[in-house]
Structure 1
Amino acid sequence: MSEKQARAVEIAVAYHRAWTTGNLDLAAKHLAEDVTCHAPSGTINGRGAVRAFMEPFAASLTNSKLLAVYGTDDEALLMYDTANLAVPSAPGAELYRIQNDEIAEINIIFDRLPFALARGDVVGV
């Protein structure tokens, strides 16, 4: 792994660890001011908006386990599993694009179905 690859992974892992432990102030420090986050619920733009989007989920976590990390010179891919009181396992993955030692873009993939079922939402087949 090159030094540049290692730096991209280091930034992504630091961000992930910060938000999964509820330290949204520290997590936000890794985000570019104009960060773009693509999530299953839509696109969120800007550091403050991404922080506000992540905060309720981060606050609900009872556990988080980092499963895998991969990096290139300007990207890092993290796969993880999270849990909260309602959902014992919620795997996800995030692809981070790094520019100037900040996260410029995040692509989040996770299955929303376990959360819908936990809320008692009716889900069509």
Structure 2
Amino acid sequence: MKKKLIFILIGLFILIGGYLMIGEYKKIQLVKEAQKKAEDIVYRNYEGIKKVTINKEYYKITPMGGLSVGGHVNDDKSLTFNIGFQIEKDGLGKATSIFIPNDFPTEKKECENKICQ
């Protein structure tokens, strides 16, 4: 009886561990996708961008289904950005917000007041 209970508990722990590992893998994939999209968005939306550096360690997933990633441009750590994305059922959604400092490079004319994706 005790052996049966031990096997059931071990099996349950393995299933829970596997489920958590799958969830962590999906989260990492979403973050990687968001980081790539963020880089593309910065190049598309702003003039004079020579280099975009994404901070690979920084990301935040909010309880309301958002994901934000950040970095800096042109090797200037004062020119930071933070881009927020909506997480949807089937993956990463569109960018919903961009936060930049006042001295960030100029927005391209075709992308004023909107996010060119």
Alignment TM-score, normalising by the size of structure 1 = 0.47
Relative contact order higher in (CA < 8 Å, ≥ 6 apart): 1
> Is the helix fraction higher in 1 or 2?
2
Alignment TM-score, normalising by the size of structure 2 = 0.50
